[in-house]
Structure 1
């Protein structure tokens, strides 16, 4: 079966399953802020419209300055992109025909981009259900590797690895002349986050990717940025198409970065809903990954793979993210976003229904 490679766009998933898309459904497959975009974005939308006749700033000076100030890093260490996906694509071009290590399970886009650019791909597999990451296990996989992709907090597990772990890996990779590409697309969902951006000045091999589409619920706009030493930013910018980030995205980004209260509200909301969901999972004999953010892996331990549960959920209008294209997971888990209170209630009702029907399995 040809599975969709990403969450969202559920019509393609139902088509792959040979099912009709129900009139009413809840899409748990996309990890977007359940509170939606900041209200200020809607308030300013008409103002944005007035700017669409103007070409976007190809250097994104205003947004770059805002990020530079917020992250306390120099402007020439920042590259604005048309979502994290474009930045990953640029990195793939820079790494063409190089040897790349992926720590699995992880975001499928890394492998897709590397394959397109004829990279040699090697894997380091984290062991479920804890998905522990440490340097002693990773060290043997780093032999003759040109670049390492790390996702932290990790997609699809939602697990956040501490800065001490990241620094030890970056130091080891520096000794081996190996780039570390650290994808922090979900960092702003962490209540207590210790930034590794300051280490850009210390390590020439560190590249950090950030997304603004997840926290601010603007995936239709596409906006992200990268932080690295100026030489790397300069090299990547030469691979980027002119005006790759549109005017609306730049204006939205400038506005979103001023919404600190919105970020805090989101973090607290997600934390409350996650605790409520995980309590339900525990009491109904489901296993969930130790997520710290707005999504998690889930499995019914009575099943060897989760396909029958997956199919049951789709019939109920509950759409999780399959894991058939996450190496090492191979369908043994399902990924769910944390949605709004009532939507999470409906998920728990359907999972309770499944458990009642299969309690003796």
Structure 2
């Protein structure tokens, strides 16, 4: 069941002969609170609207986002998940030489290679706790057309401060290199690191956001990007018509206005990530990286377990974890665990007590 992403409950249920409802999924980094009640209610109340085509311009949602991000609507594009925009940027910019982190989200490489680009890697190391050395990174930008920066990074959870990202953007602007900054998990951070406000200042910057993870609506597929108006116009001219369905647009519009849910999520994530981290940190055989967001990166090297063996053992018990052996630069020594509810976290911890 090797795959490049977590969250494949259907495949897991079939493999382990389980009911999907019996599975606890730590492999996908989705808000454990589930979708806002406001979203579920508005979807149920508007089912009859399925008979109409969705707004091809996502006007209502774009208006909400423009107000939230303090940008013009012309600086924004809504997409069928953030991944659609990664492929669109690769298509429109059509770069030759490109740079990605290793390890990082796999779709950057796939999108760039689909356009025939040469993809180079900037290696992150365990000796440096997988942190990005900006001083060493900058000279590499002279050599490439586009650099994809996942901030916070997936799967390591490490992130650069806003000032460091700005340093990268400014340097890249001088050498005519595009910077794609993927902020899919930035809403879970306590720190303010976003650079989305800089898209009107720097023409070499594209900022990517996801709405599915924080608001727990991955089945609807919803993301957005921000850039200068020229690039947004080119992207809009290149994507498929009606790329965002009506219910996704409606869910995004309502979710962004649900301040109570947003506050509840941030408090719950802080509480449960600290609890899960402390529990995992009790195992001397595990190196547990402190979680800044809603997932935890774990090094199994000192234990007797490989990622695949642990994935299989827990999978048979209905517990899914993210085996990181499909990430470039990692092997059988690393796993990633989403932060879940207290009850679900305890199920995982109690199972690990018997294994490690």
Sort the TM-score into its range (normalised by shorter chain). over 0.9
Partner of 1:244, secondary structure, is coil
- 172 and 64 in structure 1: CA distance in 2 versus 1, 3 angstrom threshold: same
- TM-superposed deviation, 1:199: 1.3
Structure 1 residues 137 and 305: alpha-carbon distance in aligned structure 2, compared to 1, 3 A threshold: farther
- Give the corresponding residue for 1:262: 261
Q: In the TM superposition, what is the alpha-carbon distance from 1:95 to its structure 2 partner?
A: 3.5
CA distance in 2, matches of 1:165, 1:145: 19
Given the superposition, is the C-alpha separation of residues 13 and 127 from structure 1 closer, same or farther in structure 2, using an over 3 Å criterion?
A: farther
Asked whether the equivalents of residues 96 and 117 of structure 1 are also in contact (C-alpha less than 8 Å), the reply is yes
Tell me what 2:321 maps to: 320
Cα shift at 1:97:
5.0
1:338 alignment partner in structure 2: 339
Distance 1:169 1:336, change over 3 A: same
Kept in 2: contact 1:11–1:21 (CA 8 A): no
Contact 1:101 1:149 in 2 (8 A): yes
Structure 2 contact 9–23 (Cα < 8 Å) conserved: no
Q: Which residue of 1 aligns with 2:16?
A: 20
Q: How does 1:1-361 map to 2 (within 5 A)?
A: 3-12=2-11, 19-23=15-19, 24-128=22-126, 130-285=129-284, 286-300=286-300, 301-303=302-304, 305-355=306-356
Distance, in Å, in 1 between the alignment partners of 2:343 and 2:323 is 23
Rate the CA distance shift 1:96–1:194 in 2: closer, same or farther, 3 A.
Answer: closer
- The answer to whether the Cα contact below 8 Å between 1:159 and 1:290 also exists between their aligned partners in 2 is no
Return closer, same or farther for 1:124/1:194 CA change in 2, 3 Å cut-off. Answer: closer
CA 1:313/1:124 → structure 2, altered by over 3 Å: closer, same or farther? same
Q: Is the 8 A contact 1:41 1:256 kept in 2?
A: yes
SS in 1 for 2:16: coil
CA–CA separation in structure 2 for the residues paired with 1:14 and 1:172: 48
1:359 aligns with: none
Q: How far has the Cα of 1:305 moved from its partner?
A: 4.0
Provide the C-alpha distance between the structure 1 equivalents of 2:304 and 2:228, rounded to a whole number of angstroms: 47
Change (3 A) 1:321 1:238: same
1:201-248 deviation digits (Å, cap 9, x = unpaired) = 221111001111001111111111100000110111111111111111
SS in structure 2 of the partner of residue 218 of structure 1? coil
Aligned residue pairs total: 351
Question: How far is 1:86 from its partner?
Answer: 1.0
Question: How many Å apart are 1:14 and its aligned residue?
Answer: 7.5
In 1, are the aligned partners of 2:157 and 2:296 still within 8 Å (CA)? yes
Kept after mapping to 1: 8 A contact 2:131/2:158: no
RMSD of equivalent CA atoms: 1.7
Q: CA deviation at 1:318?
A: 1.5
Query: Which consecutive unaligned segments of at least 5 residues does structure 1 have?
Result: 356-361
Measure how far apart 1:190 and its partner are.
1.4
Q: Secondary structure at the match of 2:159?
A: coil
- Using the alignment, how far apart are the partners of 2:133 and 2:25 within structure 1? 34
Q: Look up the SS of the partner of 2:243 in the other structure.
A: coil
Please identify, of 252-261 and 127-136, the stretch whose mean Cα deviation from structure 2 is larger: 127-136
The alignment's TM-score, normalised by the length of structure 1, stands at: 0.92
Question: What is the alpha-carbon distance in structure 1 between the residues aligned to residue 23 and residue 43 of structure 2?
Answer: 28
Q: CA deviation at 1:45?
A: 2.1
Kindly indicate whether the alpha-carbon contact (under 8 Å) linking 1:3 and 1:13 is maintained by their aligned counterparts in 2. Answer: no
CA distance in 1, matches of 2:209, 2:45: 26
Structure 2: 5+ residue runs without aligned partners?
none
Q: What SS does the corresponding residue of 1:43 show, helix, strand or coil?
A: helix
